[in-house]
Structure 1
Amino acid sequence: MSQLLEVSGVSVSFDGFRAINNLSFAIGSAELRAIIGPNGAGKTTFMDIVTGKTRPDAGHILWGDKSLSLLGLNEAQIAREGIGRKFQKPTVFEDQTVEENLLMALKAKRGALSVLFWKPASADMERVRALAAEIGLEDALGRISGTLSHGQKQWLEIGMLLAQEPRLLLVDEPAAGMTPAEREHTTAILVEAAKTRAVVVVEHDMEFVRRLNCRVTVLHEGSVLAEGSLDHVTANKEVIDVYLGR
């Protein structure tokens, strides 16, 4: 598996507090990875750095086949390179239908002026139907998004990100606030998405991480403490001390 993202020796401090401390690890081009760790471990800051929201003080972040440095790019340029991020709280257009939300996400790839005059072609409608099927909302295309359950809004937002065809999807605590059935469906969506792109899930919920059945990176005080299968990392004495033992 080729490498898609390489984080090397990255550090960042806020007011003297080192949030990320010489962080190094890599993500493959079609890989599902979970990142876990206690509060303050640097999980959100890691995502902020990769998406260009936060600039590191030191280190390198290389992207794609050509090892492009992401540090010279702004947030919009990084998004165009194919890095999508889903925050914990779903952000969908509540007054629009599921179909309109997905169409708008497809449109986001076009220039500002062309969006004003854009009319969806049959291929666009087919893509929207395929996305709706992928996230399990094919029967809800005509529904106003504000009427969806919390879990369904999360799936719609994942669908909107997938509409932009990212090569890397960063997902923050997707299982939070979901019913058991919704969590199961969320697992299926993420596992399927990771067959054709890299998906990194930042999560607190160990049961959800176990369902993902993927490689796990444990962060502690801004650097990698352990890496491997969930069973491997949860048997690590240091991990037990800093995370599971609390």
Structure 2
Amino acid sequence: MTTLLEVSGVSVSFDGFKAINNLSFQIGEAEMRAIIGPNGAGKTTFMDIVTGKTRPDEGHVIWGDRSVSLLKMSESQIARVGIGRKFQRPTVFEAQTVRENLAMALKNARGPFDVLFYRKSKSGADRIEALAEEIGLSNQLPRIAGTLSHGQKQWLEIGMLLAQEPRLLLIDEPAAGMTPEEREHTTQILVEAAKTRAVVVVEHDMEFVRRLNCKVTVLHEGAVLAEGSLDHVTQNQTVIDVYLGR
């Protein structure tokens, strides 16, 4: 499998506290990965570094088949090369319909003129229908986004990320606050997405992680503590001591 993202020897300190400590991590082109670990393990800082929000003190973050350094790029440039991030709280345009939210996110429709007249583009309309189908909101397209359930808003935001055609999706705690049915549907969306791109899911819900059925990276004190299947890492005594035993 071709490596899409490679993080090597990355460290970053905040006021003397090492949030990330000589971290190395890599993920392939079409791969699902779950990242788990206690609070303060460096999960959010890791995502901040990959998306350009935080600059590391040392190390390398290499992207794509041309092996370019993400550390030389701005946050907007990083988003444009194909890295999409979803925060824990859904951020959708509450006053707009589901259809309009997806239209605004489409990769080609950037100017206000494009957004205003997106219905006139057959390919844009088809893409919106396909995205709505992928996230399970086909029958909600005319609905105002603010009236959706918490789970549906999460799916819409994932759809808006997918509309930008990212090669890597970073998803923060998607299962939080969801019903069991919503969690099941979220699993399906992410597993499907990982067939064509890299998906990194930061999650605390072990049952949700098990359903993703993917390689798991355990972070602790800003470094990789263990890596492998969920069964493999959950049997690791150090992982039990620092995380699961709490």
TM-score, normalised via structure 2 length: 0.97
- Report what 1:119 is aligned to: 118
Amino acid aligned to 1:161: L
**1:119 Cα offset (Å):** 3.5
The Cα shift of 1:86 comes to: 0.2
What is the aligned length? Answer: 245
In the TM superposition, structure 1's runs of 4+ consecutive aligned residues that sit over 3 Å from their partners are 108-120
User: Aligned in 2, Cα 1:111/1:190: closer, same or farther, shift over 3 Å?
Assistant: closer
Structure 2 counterpart of 1:146: 146
**Aligned residue for 1:164?**
164
Deviation at 1:177, TM superposition (A): 0.1
The equivalent residue for 1:194 is 194
Q: Match for 1:153: what amino acid?
A: K
Match of 1:176 in 2: 176
Q: Counterpart of 1:28? A: 28
Q: Render the CA deviation track for 1:117-162: whole Å, top value 9, x for unaligned.
A: 6534011000000000000000000000011000000000000000
Q: Residue 104 of structure 1 aligns with which residue?
A: 104
| Structure 2 contact 109–115 (Cα < 8 Å) conserved | no
2:203 counterpart residue number:
203
- How far apart in 2 are the matches of 1:119 and 1:193? 24
1:89 maps to a residue whose letter is R
Gaps of 5+ in 1: none
SS in 2 for 1:132: helix
Residues 151/237 of structure 1: CA separation in 2 closer, same or farther (3 Å cut): same
- CA drift of 1:115 comes to 3.9
TM-score, normalising length from structure 1? 0.97
Moved more, 204-213 or 117-126: 117-126
Identity, % of aligned positions = 78
Farther-moved stretch of structure 1 (135-144 vs 116-125): 116-125
The superposition leaves residues 150-200 of structure 1 with CA deviations (integer Å, 9 ceiling, x where unpaired) of: 000000000000000000000000000000000000000000000000000
Equivalent residues in 2 for 1:198-237, closer than 5 Å: 198-237=198-237
Deviation at 1:214, TM superposition (A): 0.3
| Residue number in structure 2 paired with 1:19 | 19
**d(CA) in 2 for partners of 1:101, 1:95:** 9
Structure 2 alignment gaps of length 5 or more? none
C-alpha separation between the residues in 1 aligned to 2:32 and 2:228?
12
Matched residue, 2:73: 73
Query: Cα offset for 1:25?
Result: 1.3
Paired AA for residue 196 in structure 1: T
